[in-house]
Structure 1
Amino acid sequence: MTIQIPASSPTETVPPPVPSPTVVSRYAAFVAGRRSKWVVLVLWFLLMGIGGSLAAGLADVQDNDPEAWLPSSAQSTKAVQLAEQYFADKDSSTAVIVYAREGGLTQADLSRIDADRARLADKVAIGKVSAAVVSKDKVAAFVSVPLRTSPSDNKVLTDKVTEAGKLTSDGAPAGLDIKITGEAGSIADFADVYSGMDGALLGVALGVVALLLLVTYRSPVLWLIPLITVGLASQVASGVVYLLAKHAGLVVNGQSAYVLMVISVGVGTDYALLLISRYREELHRHEDRHTAMSLAVHGSLPALAASAATVTIASLCLVFGSMNSTRGLGPVVAIGVVLVFFAMTSLLPALLVILGRWVFWPVKPRVTAGYDPNSAQGHGTWAKIAGAVGRRPRAVWIGTALVLGVMALGIAGVHTGQTQAEQFTGKVDSVTGQQVLAEHFPAGSSAPADVYVRDAGAPSATAVVAKVPGVSSVSTQAAKGGWTHLTAVLRDAPDSAAAKDTVQDIRTALDGSTGPAADAVVGGQSAVALDVSEAQGDEETLLIPLILAVVLVMLLVLLRATIASAVLLGSVVLSFAAAVGTASLLFHALDHAKIDRGLVLFGFIFLVALGVDYTIFLMTRAKEEVRLRGHREGILTAVTVTGGVITSAGVVLAATFCVLAAIPTVSALQQGLLVAVGILLDTFLVRSLLVPALALDLGPRFWRPGLTPQETAPHESAKSRAEAPSTV
C-alpha cells in the first residue's frame, strides 16, 4: 500500500499564509526580520563573549568528592562532620601509599619507606604520617598520609597526590613497586580521568555530528551553520553553569559537566534538523527568505518548545533527589536545554537568513509552483513504512510490543554493586594499589570504617564492633571534644558488597547496644558506598513516578487527549525497559556486567524525557494532519512526511551519546550505550511502528476526550494544508 497524499494543482497559486499576531508569530518575525536579525546576532555575540570566557573555568568548580554528594541525614555525612569538627582538617583526605616487591621487601626498601615518611611529612602531609605497616609475608607495606584538599576544587588534591607520587618514586630502589590508593588516590584518579574532558568531548561530539550532518544535507556548507550555533550555545550554557556553581552553590561534578556537553550538542542538533527541514519547505513556496524563515519558525516553534519544556521540567525534578550530585544534575541539564533551544530558534534562523539560499549549495531550494511539502514524493521509504503500518496496524503494534518485551527480559541480567576496580575501563594506580593491599593485608586496610562515639561509650562500642563478623580489628585513634574516634579494619575491600554489609551490621549492633554506644556514628569509605546506594534507591522510588507524572501532564497539555497521552506514556516506559534489557546484554558482552545503581535513574530521566521528544514531534504533526484529512490518513501522512527528519535527529542524538565511550570510566560507557540504545529503539520501533499502529487500531477515540476530527474531502485537505503551515 502506498500512501497517496493529495497535492495542490500545479497551476494553483498558493497564497502566503498570514499567521495571527500571536506571541509565536511575533517571535518568528523578530528572529527572521530584515533588521531585527542583526539585533539577534549582536545579542548572541555578547552572550558568547561573556559565556565563552567563563566556560573555561567550569573544570575548576567541579567537586568529585563522594562525601559531598551524600544526603545530610546519612550517617557517613554526620561522620565527616564530626571528623572535621574534632579530629581532622576539614580540607584533608588520606592517601595510602603501597610498597611491594616480588620475593619480599629488602632492608633497603624498608629504609627507603622510612625516608619517604619523613619527606612526605615535610613536603605534602598536613598531619601525622602513619608508621609503616608491613605484611606478614614481608612482601608489601603501606603508610597513610593526610593530604591537603579543597571541598570545591579537586585540583588541589590531585596536585598533592602527584607530588607524593614523585617524592616516593624518584630514586626508589629498582624493582620496588609503589602505588597510591585510598580515598585521596581514588579521587585523584577520577579527577585525572575527567580533567580536560570537557573540551575533548565537545570536539569529538561536534566531529561526529559534523559527519552525520554532511551525510544528511549533502552540502559542504550547510552543516557548518547548526554546528557553529550549537557549539557556541554549549559554551554559553557552560558559562552559566560555572557562575551558578561558583556563586550559588550548584554542585557540579565530572558527570554533570560532560552530560551538559553531550545534551547541548545532541538536542541542539535535533532542533536544527527540524527547523532547517521546515525552512527548506518554505523556501520552495516563498521567494523571500525572510518570509520563509518566519513561517518555518512559526510552524516548528510549538513542537520544539513542547520538547524543550518536557526535557527541562523532567530534569528539574531531580532537584527533589536526596544527593547533591542528583540535585545538581537537574539544573545543569535544564540550563543546557533552555539555552540551546533559544539558540536554535533565534541565532540559527538569523544566521541562515543572513547567509541566504546559497548555504544549501549544490542543491539550492527554489520556488516551485504548486509545491506540496506533504506529497509522498520524496518520502518513498517512509511512505512504504506507513503503508505497511496502515494495512495491518494491530499485527504491527502487537508484534512490535512483543519484540520490545523480549528485549526487556535482559533486565534479569542487570546487577548493581560496581566496585572501584570495576569503575575504570583501564588500570589506574588506586585500583592496582587496592588489589595489592587485598592480597597481603585485610582488604579493608586502606579505608577502615570510622566509628565516632561519646567517650563514655568507647569501651562498650569497641567490644560490640570487634564481635561483628567481617571486622578484622578495632583500635582507638583519638579522643577529643567528648568524642572518641575508633577505626575498624574490615576483612573485605572497602567498596565491595561484603564491606557494605559489614558496615550495616556494625550499625545494627551499635543501635542494639545500651548506653552512649547506641548513639555512635559509623562513617568511612564503605559507609559512604552504603549510604549512596540507599539514597539512590530512595531517589528511584520518588523521582521515577514524579518524572512520569510530569511527562504525562506535558502530553495532556500538548495533545489534550487522555487516551493518546496514556498510550504514549506507556510506550515510553516499554521502550525504557527494552533499552535497559538490551543494554544489559551489551554490558555483559563488553565484560562490564555490573552497573552503578545511579545508572537506572540516569537512563530513565534521559530516555523518558528525550524519548518522548520524537513522539511529540510525530504527534504534533499528526494532530494537525488529522484535523485536515481525518484520523487514518492524518496518522499515515504524519509518519510519511516526518520519518526522514526525525530519524536523522534520533541517529544524531544516539551517536552523540556514544561519544561518552571516549571517557575511560565504565559508568560513562554504560550511560552512553544505554541512552543511545533507547533513543534508537524510540526512533525506529516506537515512533515509527508502535505508536502509529496503536493510534490506527484505536481509531478516532485515540484523541478523546477532545473533539473527534471528522474526515475531510481530499481536495479540501489539500487546500487547507497548502494555506496553513504545519507545526514540524
Structure 2
Amino acid sequence: MTHRPAHAADRGPLAALLRTVTGRRTAWLVALLPLLLAGGLAAALGEGERAPSPLDTLPAGYESTLGTELAAELPADDASVALVLWTATEGQLPGGALGELGALAQEVGAVGGPRAVRPSEDGTAALAVVPVPGGSATDVAERVTELRENLDEGVPDGVEAQVTGPAAVQADLAAVFDGADFRLLGATAAVVAVLLVVTYRSPVLWLVPLTVVAVADRFAAVAATQLMAQLGIAWDESTVGILSVLVFGAGTDYALLLISRYRDELKRVADRRAAMATAVRRTAEAVVASATTVVLGVLTLLLSLVPTTRGLGFACAVGIVVAAVFALVVLPAALVCFGRWVFWPRVPREGDPTLVEGRSLWRRVGDQVAARPPAFVVGSVVVLAALAAGLAQVSTGLDQSDQFLERPEAIAAADRLAESFPAGTSSPTQVVTRAAAGDVLATVRSTGAVLSADVTDQGDGVSQVDVVLDAAPSSPEAEEAIASLRAELAGYEDTYVTGTEAQAIDARDGAARDRLVIFPLILALVLVGLGVLLRSVVAPVLLVATVVATYAAALGVSWWVFTGVLGFEALDVSTPLLAFLFLVALGVDYNIFLVTRAREEAEAGHGTRAGVLRALTATGGVITSAGVLLAAVFAVLGVLPLVVLAQIGTVICIGVLLDTLLVRTVLVPALVVVLGDRFWWPRRTPPATATTATTPAPAPM
C-alpha cells in the first residue's frame, strides 16, 4: 500500500510549516535549534531578579497596605525585628542568669541597653528585641541564622535560646525554598518519567517528550521572570514552582495527545512524516484551543489586588504559550527524526488493526453509558453533589502558625512566648500616622484590648506606634481588637492600623473581592472560547457546568481531607481562587479533547450518538493518562513544606482525577447521548449514515 504524503498536496502557511517540521532535511533543525537556543538562553540569562517589597503580598488599597506603604518613609523602614526568647530547661531561670542574658543581649544588638532583657512574671522566660537590617529574604535569613548561632554559643547552662518575631518568620519561610527549585523540578520530572514509561511501555520513547518539556520548563521560567523584571511585575518564591508544575503538566498532556494520534496514523500510512503531519493537523485545533483557554484564564489574575498573584497569572500565561509551541513544533520534529523504532517494543506498523475490539475498556464504558444515559447523568450529579457537601463547612484564613507543614523554630518559639508573656507580644500591631503622635498614642491606649502601646519610630512627619493586644493572634478577639482600633482612629488623617494581624484580615477581604471579580470572568471567557471553538451554545454551557461541579466536589472532598486527615483548620485565602482557576482552565482541556473528537466523528457521518462513543473509545486512554499525570504533577507541590502549596496541589489533584475518571468518562458522554444533535445547537451536524453509524470506533489514541 502506497500513499502520497498528505502534506505534499496541501497549500498555505500551515502546510508549509508542517513540511518544515516534518521534512527529511529540516526536521532535525526544527528540533535541535529551539532546544539549543532555549537551553543556552536559560543558562546564560538565568531567572530574573528583583528587590522584594513589603507590599508584594498585600492587597492594594486596604488599610494595612496603606500603613505599610507609609511606614516606608520612616528612618528605620528597612529594618525588621527578631524576638529572642530565653526559657529555662527546667522550672525557673537559674539565679544570676538575667545578668548573663543582659550581656549577651547587648552583644547581639538588642534594643534597650542594660535593660534589654525583659523577664516574665512566672520567672521561666526572658525576652529581648533585636533589630534586623532589612534587605532581601536571603539577607534577612542570613542575619537571623547568624543571630541564632551567636545565641547558642553564649547561652548560659540551663537556658534555651530561640528566635521568633517577623524577621525569624521571614527567615524560616525563606528556608522552605532553599533548594526548592531543584527538589520540585526533580520530583516533577521523576513523576512524569515514571508515568510516561507506564503509558508507552517503551524504554526509549518517554525520553523525547520529557526532554522537550523539561527544556520548555526552564525556558519558560527564565522568560517569565526576565519579562516580569523588565515590566516591574512582582513575583515570589512560589511563582516559579507553580509555573514549573503547570508547564510540565500541560506540556506533557499536549505531548500525550500528539503522540497518541501519531501512533494511530502510523498504522494507516507508510510514511512516518505524512503520519506526523496528519497528527499535528488533527491535534493542533484541540491543543491551541486548550492553551488559549488556559492563557485567558490565568490572565484574569492580572485583575487581582495582590501584586504577586498578578505576577503568577502573567508567568503562567508565558509558560502555557511556551509549552504549546514546544509541543506542536519541537516535539513533532524530534519524533520524526527517530522513526518508528522509537515506540519499541510496541512498534506500530502500516496495516496494523486500527479498530477497537469489543473487549476494549473504553468501548465497554461507552456502551454502558449509551444503554442508560439518564441514569448515568443522575448518578454522576448525585455523586458530585455528595462530594461537594463539605463546602458548607469551608473557612479561609490560616493562622501564621499554620502556614508550615513542618513546625519551624519561629513558630514554636512564638507559641512558647505566649505561655509566659501577653499573647500579642510576638506579633505586635502597628499604627502608622502623620497625625500628632501623642494624640494617637493616647487614643490607642484608651482602646479596649490594648495591653501596651509605645512610639517606636518617628521621622519626616511619620510616627509608628507598636501595640500589644490582649488577645491571641488570629483569634476572633484579635480581629475585634483591630476593628476597635480602626474605629477609634478613624478621625485621624493618614492614620492606618497594620501589622500581621491587620494584614491577615485585609488579605481575607481582598481574596473575597478577587473571587467575586475573577470567578465570573473566568467562566465567561471559557464559555466564549468554547462557543467559538464549537460554534455552539448548548455544549459550552453544559461543559462549563460540569467543570464547576467538579471544582465544588474537589473542594468539598479536600476540606474533609484537610480537617480530618491533615489537621488543617482553614484554607489559605488564595487556595479557592487558584484552585478554581486551574481546575476550570485545565478541566475544560479534557472536555475539549473529547468533544472536538466527537464533533470530528459526527461530521464524518457517524452521527452524534455514535460519534461521542467513538470519541470516548479513541481518546479514553490518552486523556486518562494525561489526567492521572497532571494530578500527580500537582500533587508534587507537597514536597515543599508550605501549607498553601500543599492545599492548592491537593484540590487540583482531586479535581483533575474527578474530571478525568467521572465527568469526562461518564457524565459528558451521557449528556451528549441524551441530547443527541441538540447538544450542538444551533450548529447542525450531518445525519448518521447507515454504513458508518454502526462502524466500530477507531483505535485508541
Verify the 8 A CA contact 2:73 2:462 in the aligned structure 1.
Answer: no
Partners in 1 of 2:359 and 2:181 — Cα distance? 39
Write out per-residue CA displacement over residues 49-72 of structure 1, whole angstroms, 9 at most, x where no aligned residue. Answer: 1113434x46x6584x66422133
Compute the displacement of 1:206 (Å). 0.9
Of 588-597 and 197-206, the range deviating more from structure 2: 588-597
Are 1:391 and 2:371 an aligned pair? yes
Verify the 8 A CA contact 2:132 2:167 in the aligned structure 1.
Answer: yes
Give the counterpart of 1:54 among 45, 53, 63: 45
Of 18-27 and 197-206, the range deviating more from structure 2: 18-27
Paired residue for 1:709? Answer: 686
Paired residue for 1:407? Answer: 387
Partner SS, residue 252 of structure 1 = coil
Partner SS, residue 16 of structure 2 = helix
AA at the equivalent of 2:394: V
Partners in 2 of 1:678 and 1:68 — Cα distance? 29
Paired residue for 1:345? Answer: 328
Paired residue for 2:120? Answer: 135
Partners in 2 of 1:286 and 1:378 — Cα distance? 24
Verify the 8 A CA contact 2:395 2:570 in the aligned structure 1.
Answer: yes
Paired residue for 1:269? Answer: 252
Are 1:559 and 2:534 an aligned pair? yes
Partners in 2 of 1:711 and 1:429 — Cα distance? 69
Partners in 2 of 1:329 and 1:304 — Cα distance? 22
Partner SS, residue 714 of structure 1 = coil
- TM-score after normalising by structure 2: 0.94
Partners in 2 of 1:531 and 1:128 — Cα distance? 36
Paired residue for 2:203? Answer: 220
Unmatched segments (≥5 aa) in structure 2: none
Write out per-residue CA displacement over residues 146-203 of structure 1, whole angstroms, 9 at most, x where no aligned residue. Answer: 21232xx311111111111111111322332222111111111111001211111111
Partner SS, residue 416 of structure 1 = coil
Are 1:247 and 2:230 an aligned pair? yes
Partners in 1 of 2:600 and 2:359 — Cα distance? 19
Paired residue for 1:279? Answer: 262
1:600-639 to 2 correspondences below 5 Å: 600-628=576-604, 629-639=606-616
Give the counterpart of 1:492 among 444, 449, 471: 471
AA at the equivalent of 1:120: V
Unmatched segments (≥5 aa) in structure 1: 1-11
Compute the displacement of 1:594 (Å). 1.6
Compute the displacement of 1:405 (Å). 0.5
Write out per-residue CA displacement over residues 342-371 of structure 1, whole angstroms, 9 at most, x where no aligned residue. Answer: 1111221121111222211112111117x5
Compute the displacement of 1:439 (Å). 0.9
Partners in 2 of 1:686 and 1:155 — Cα distance? 45
CA, structure 1 residues 15+500, in 2 after alignment: closer, same or farther (shift >3 Å)? same
Are 1:21 and 2:24 an aligned pair? no
CA, structure 1 residues 299+548, in 2 after alignment: closer, same or farther (shift >3 Å)? same
AA at the equivalent of 2:404: F
Compute the displacement of 1:378 (Å). 8.2
Write out per-residue CA displacement over residues 83-140 of structure 1, whole angstroms, 9 at most, x where no aligned residue. Answer: 2212413x3221112111132223443233222333222xxx8999982222111211
Are 1:437 and 2:417 an aligned pair? yes
Partners in 2 of 1:237 and 1:702 — Cα distance? 38
Partners in 2 of 1:596 and 1:396 — Cα distance? 35
AA at the equivalent of 1:306: A
AA at the equivalent of 1:42: L
Write out per-residue CA displacement over residues 474-503 of structure 1, whole angstroms, 9 at most, x where no aligned residue. Answer: 223344333332221012344444323321
Partners in 1 of 2:194 and 2:457 — Cα distance? 61
Partner SS, residue 484 of structure 1 = strand
Compute the displacement of 1:459 (Å). 4.0
Compute the displacement of 1:564 (Å). 0.6
Partners in 1 of 2:258 and 2:200 — Cα distance? 13
Paired residue for 1:423? Answer: 403
Are 1:33 and 2:23 an aligned pair? yes
Partner SS, residue 37 of structure 2 = helix
Verify the 8 A CA contact 1:250 1:328 in the aligned structure 2.
Answer: yes
Are 1:524 and 2:499 an aligned pair? yes
Partner SS, residue 68 of structure 1 = coil
Partners in 2 of 1:103 and 1:716 — Cα distance? 84
CA, structure 1 residues 727+333, in 2 after alignment: closer, same or farther (shift >3 Å)? farther
AA at the equivalent of 1:187: Q
Partner SS, residue 342 of structure 2 = helix
Give the counterpart of 1:146 among 121, 131, 139: 131
Paired residue for 2:57? Answer: 69
Paired residue for 2:73? Answer: 85
Partners in 2 of 1:192 and 1:448 — Cα distance? 23
AA at the equivalent of 1:85: E
Write out per-residue CA displacement over residues 386-407 of structure 1, whole angstroms, 9 at most, x where no aligned residue. Answer: 0011011111111101110110
Verify the 8 A CA contact 2:5 2:271 in the aligned structure 1.
Answer: no
AA at the equivalent of 2:156: P
CA, structure 1 residues 94+128, in 2 after alignment: closer, same or farther (shift >3 Å)? farther
CA, structure 1 residues 240+106, in 2 after alignment: closer, same or farther (shift >3 Å)? same
Are 1:503 and 2:493 an aligned pair? no
Compute the displacement of 1:259 (Å). 0.3
Partner SS, residue 407 of structure 2 = coil
Partner SS, residue 617 of structure 2 = helix
Verify the 8 A CA contact 1:127 1:146 in the aligned structure 2.
Answer: no
Partners in 1 of 2:272 and 2:123 — Cα distance? 80
Of 322-331 and 78-87, the range deviating more from structure 2: 78-87
Count of residue pairs brought into register by the alignment: 696
Give the counterpart of 2:511 among 525, 528, 536: 536
Verify the 8 A CA contact 1:128 1:145 in the aligned structure 2.
Answer: no
Paired residue for 1:118? Answer: 106
AA at the equivalent of 1:415: S
Compute the displacement of 1:17 (Å). 4.2
AA at the equivalent of 1:563: V
Partners in 2 of 1:126 and 1:563 — Cα distance? 68
Partners in 2 of 1:52 and 1:727 — Cα distance? 39
Superposition CA RMSD, Å: 2.5
Paired residue for 2:650? Answer: 673
Verify the 8 A CA contact 2:56 2:235 in the aligned structure 1.
Answer: no
Verify the 8 A CA contact 2:22 2:277 in the aligned structure 1.
Answer: yes
Partners in 2 of 1:357 and 1:708 — Cα distance? 36
Partners in 1 of 2:131 and 2:11 — Cα distance? 66
Paired residue for 1:581? Answer: 556
Paired residue for 1:186? Answer: 169
Partner SS, residue 74 of structure 2 = helix
CA, structure 1 residues 548+471, in 2 after alignment: closer, same or farther (shift >3 Å)? same
Partners in 1 of 2:282 and 2:400 — Cα distance? 50
- TM-score after normalising by structure 1: 0.91
Are 1:197 and 2:180 an aligned pair? yes
AA at the equivalent of 2:599: K
Partner SS, residue 108 of structure 2 = helix
CA, structure 1 residues 716+655, in 2 after alignment: closer, same or farther (shift >3 Å)? closer
Give the counterpart of 2:140 among 157, 161, 168: 157
Compute the displacement of 1:461 (Å). 2.9
Verify the 8 A CA contact 1:579 1:681 in the aligned structure 2.
Answer: yes
Write out per-residue CA displacement over residues 638-665 of structure 1, whole angstroms, 9 at most, x where no aligned residue. Answer: 1111111100000000011111111112
Partner SS, residue 129 of structure 2 = strand
Verify the 8 A CA contact 2:443 2:488 in the aligned structure 1.
Answer: yes
Partners in 2 of 1:222 and 1:525 — Cα distance? 51
Partners in 1 of 2:700 and 2:20 — Cα distance? 18
Give the counterpart of 1:233 among 208, 216, 221: 216
Partner SS, residue 401 of structure 2 = helix
Verify the 8 A CA contact 1:414 1:593 in the aligned structure 2.
Answer: no
Compute the displacement of 1:218 (Å). 0.8
Partners in 1 of 2:607 and 2:202 — Cα distance? 37
Write out per-residue CA displacement over residues 251-280 of structure 1, whole angstroms, 9 at most, x where no aligned residue. Answer: 221221210111111111111111110111
Partners in 1 of 2:588 and 2:561 — Cα distance? 24
Partner SS, residue 472 of structure 1 = strand
Partners in 1 of 2:561 and 2:292 — Cα distance? 32
Partners in 1 of 2:205 and 2:51 — Cα distance? 36
* Identical positions, percent: 40
